[in-house]
Homo-oligomer: A and B are copies of this chain.
Amino acid sequence: MKESVEEKKYAPVGVFDSGVGGLTVAREIMRQLPEESIIYFGDTARVPYGSKSKETIIRYSKQIIHFLESMGVKAIVVACNTASAFALEELRPEMKMPIIGVVKPGAKAAAKTTQNGRIGVIGTEGTVGSQIYTEMIHRHNPKAQILGKACPLFVPLVEEGWLKDPVTIEVAKRYLASFQESGIDTLILGCTHYPLLRSAIQDIMGSSVNLVNPAYETAQGLRRLLEGHQIANDGKAGPAKYQFYVSDAAEKFKNFANSILPCEIKEAQLIHIEE
């Protein structure tokens, strides 16, 4: 038993997303937990998840978790808000290993951050429609008022690379207008692509509104989870390794990853996830 825990310690953490967005979470894990190896999966053949149904997202998430299990990961991070919102609670009973999503940590961080109890949430149609952030925030602060807004064009704008473009700012102004006069003091970036639009969003919301990026709290939550299960990597077996798998367009993924990650990735491997 002791040996198996020792071995597990050095196993990688599995991180998955619909595509490249979850790299903002992987980046935060690399920064906060530099001893941990990561196997990242991006479902680029079926991206985006945000406009698809709960049933479909659960099916896709199960396939990915089976793949990550087969690769010997010790824990799984669902680095996608839509998959966290739709699939996490459905998946947990079947899981043999610890699993953590981005919604719960993000909700907790927002509940801690707000002073006036008014919190905005932006995300995909799926995430916002699920009302999951409202439910999770209310566990910490039952009186909090939560205002959600789906921003379906943000993901394609990020993927087009128009991060600080006037068009992106105009789209953001349109979406964020619903928060005007709402008096929110905290805004959750409830989609893992959105931290890449952070500066545009902050400019529009003004400096009095705190932006919450769930990636930061997710990495903290992962640390506690690994320590709780006594499977945190102590770094004694050598430096962390990062591996990347995708279901399509590996070269394009690699280029995007290299533009946002602190390390250079040499390869993203293609697999057929539905098989």
Contact = CB atoms under 8 A, between A and B. Distances in A.
Interface in A25-61: 44-47, 51-53, 55-56
Nearest to A252: B51
Contacts of A55: 248
Interface in A121-156: 152-153, 155-156
A267 interface: no
Interface string A256-275: 00000000000000000010
Query: How many copies of this chain does the complex contain?
Result: 2
A157 B166 CA distance: 16
A261 to B, nearest CB: 20
A160 B55 CA distance: 22
Contacts of A52: 44-45, 248-249
Interface stretch (A73-81, A85-93, A167-175, A197-205): A167-175
A159 interface: yes
Contacts of A170: 166-167, 170
15 contacts: A45-B46, A46-B46, A51-B159, A51-B249, A52-B248, A53-B249, A56-B249, A152-B159, A152-B160, A153-B153, A153-B156, A156-B156, A166-B170, A167-B174, A170-B170
- 6 smallest CB-CB distances across A and B, nearest first, come from A156-B156, A56-B248, A45-B56, A274-B274, A46-B46, A52-B248
